[in-house]
Amino acid sequence: MSFSEFQPRHVLCMLGRQGGYSELCRSIQSAIDNFAPGFEIDTHLSQDAPDDRMVESFDVSWDRVHKGVRTKEDEAAVHEHGCVIYVLGPHMDIESTVETSAIALRLIVHALNSDAIAAKGESAGIARGAARWKQLGRDAEDAEDGPSLARTCRLAFSKRPLSDGKFLCSVGFHLVGLPEVFAPRSLSDDELVLSSIIDRVADEMFTEGVGLSLVRNNGILLPIEAYEEDDFKFNPYGAVYLGDHGKKGTLSTGFRN
């Protein structure tokens, strides 16, 4: 089910060393030509110079659920970067989301194995250290079935938990063709427990369908009003609100860290 005709896309941000812009562009373009059709370097936003906004942008985007997702070296790389390259993915219908997300992950790993020193998925505002990106890339290569690959891609490109008042929620599940999940704080005082619930429900939705998951978790499916349709964080598949649904007035507020 979709609440909009909008088709999501990946926006990837790669940071390189000073003086390494041209070589990194060539490496990324070679990868696009080789295995990532439909992806393209955004020549308007990319720049052969550091971007003062990157330190703050990465700081609010680091994954805070998994331990060891970044190191001091990763943080230093962001501070010391000398160029920025943005890559745009193709617009995805729901059937192509997982395959395209796997390609996006492979593209990030390729860049980090070349001349990139840091990477971030802009479509959910999620940053990870180089080692974590590469591990996720290996997990994707080793995935034995569709659900395993979808889960790896979801873990790679989504962010949680974010706060929406009475709920903790995800952003970025549209990149694997799923609604976001909003878990009420009444279920637990532990944000990691709520993050685990969000992940469990996402796995159920992918393997069993959204409808069955709604019944099992006393959920309702509603459109998200936090983003405009042309925002790359906008999820056309809406959001599943679990348990304590609250009043509609609390469901349309924006996300915040």
Q: pLDDT-derived band of residue 256, with 50, 70 and 90 as boundaries?
A: very low
Task: Tell me if residue 204 falls in helix, strand or coil.
Answer: helix
The span from the CA of 69 to the CA of 194, in Å, is 19
Which among 217, 257, 225 is positioned nearest to 241, based on CA atoms?
A: 217
CB-count exposure of residue 65 (10 Å: 0-12, 13-18, 19+): middle
What pLDDT shows up at residue 244?
60
Q: pLDDT-derived band of residue 26, with 50, 70 and 90 as boundaries?
A: very high
| Helix, strand, coil percentages in the chain from 3-state DSSP, rounded to 5 | 45, 20, 40
Write out pLDDT tens, residues 99-157.
999 999 999 999 999 999 999 999 999 999 999 999 999 999 999 999 999 999 999 99
Write out pLDDT tens, residues 41-78.
999 999 999 999 999 999 999 998 887 889 999 999 99
What pLDDT shows up at residue 251?
35
Q: pLDDT-derived band of residue 214, with 50, 70 and 90 as boundaries?
A: very high
User: 172 — alpha (psi -120 to 50), left (phi > 0) or beta?
Assistant: left
